[in-house]
Structure 1
């Protein structure tokens, strides 16, 4: 589990910053949930589109069943939210990036289960196709099994860590730009 450990250690601070930024608005509120989904909509479709062109991603068990873009778009449509333009993901440029990207996405799925439980305890009546996607499946377990089979040379680990950091950073930038745009629209700073 050398690769998993390297990914956890290298992305931990960014992951915490993203979690803190997301939690600045209650996920149980319509505005907080819309903000959360819109952030994902700026990143996930482009990242999943890149993954679909990757033979390395195709080697991950149930690779296509892991894709959540359609579920995300259904929730956005239910909330009458526009689908934002996706961000540039040109930093995704080699097969060794797949392990780092999937680490972020599969970790996000674990976090989604927690958020879905929070919504379930609230009075909020919000669509949860995105959060529930893959529930009851062993995506994390099969991802970990796949991860142990990936190349663990220094350069492969470095590329996986780089891509994972870039994905976390892209999510964080998307969220912060949304907040800045919202402040400009409402005249607050």
Structure 2
């Protein structure tokens, strides 16, 4: 079985719970859209920074250019919203943990295509931009298959992916979603 499908199965419950919570927001409404962006802005920048510090750029070609922190800052600024305080990122101390975390972060970009269509007219949506929506996803998938070659490594990546989803979920819960 391909590593991404193993990770998908291992994280399905927490991923579904996060999606259920976020789907309560009406992204066509400014207030809800700002709340969505604040949740993302608390988690994405520190996770991206942890992945960079852990060396993900050495594993995933094009990952540095796919980072979305700047887009989040831009969207929030355009809405007159400050960047919220960052949360503590999950630990990413190994290749498997880097890849499990990247799976979550880059996979979320794919869902952005659907969410982008829900954003109200005139609201900034650089974070959910349509062009190049695949970002580093193809390279992440290739790296998963290349580096997760044992059950132990896959298990470590699964744990990291669950921690990442759980972080987003806890931020959403804190935000009252």
Same fold (TM over 0.5): yes
> What corresponds to 2:162 in structure 1?
165
User: When the two structures are aligned, how many residues end up with a matched partner?
Assistant: 177
CA distance in 1, matches of 2:134, 2:65: 10
Shift of the 53–138 alpha-carbon distance from structure 1 to 2, 3 Å rule, reads closer
Greater gyration radius:
1
- Provide, for residues 122-160 of structure 1, a one-character-per-residue CA deviation record: whole Å limited to 9, x for no partner: x53210111017626563333222222113212211111
Question: Which stretches of structure 1, 4 residues or more, deviate above 4 A after TM superposition?
Answer: none
- Name the CA shift for 1:56/1:49 in 2 (closer, same or farther; >3 Å): closer
CA distance in 2, matches of 1:134, 1:98: 25
Task: Give unmatched runs, 5+ long, in structure 1.
Answer: 181-189
SS of structure 2 residue aligned to 1:179:
coil
Q: 1:92 is matched with which residue?
A: 92
Q: 1:8 to 1:116 in 2, by over 3 A?
A: same
Match runs of 1:33-112 below 5 Å: 33-112=33-112
2:108 is paired with a residue whose SS is helix
Question: Where does structure 2 lack aligned partners over 5 or more consecutive residues?
Answer: none
Moved more, 103-112 or 135-144: 135-144
Separation of aligned partners in 1, 2:110 and 2:134: 11
* RMSD between aligned residues: 1.9
Contact 1:27–1:33 (CA under 8 A) maintained in structure 2: yes
Q: 1:56 to 1:25 in 2, by over 3 A?
A: closer
Whole-angstrom CA distance in 2 between matches of 1:135 and 1:67: 12
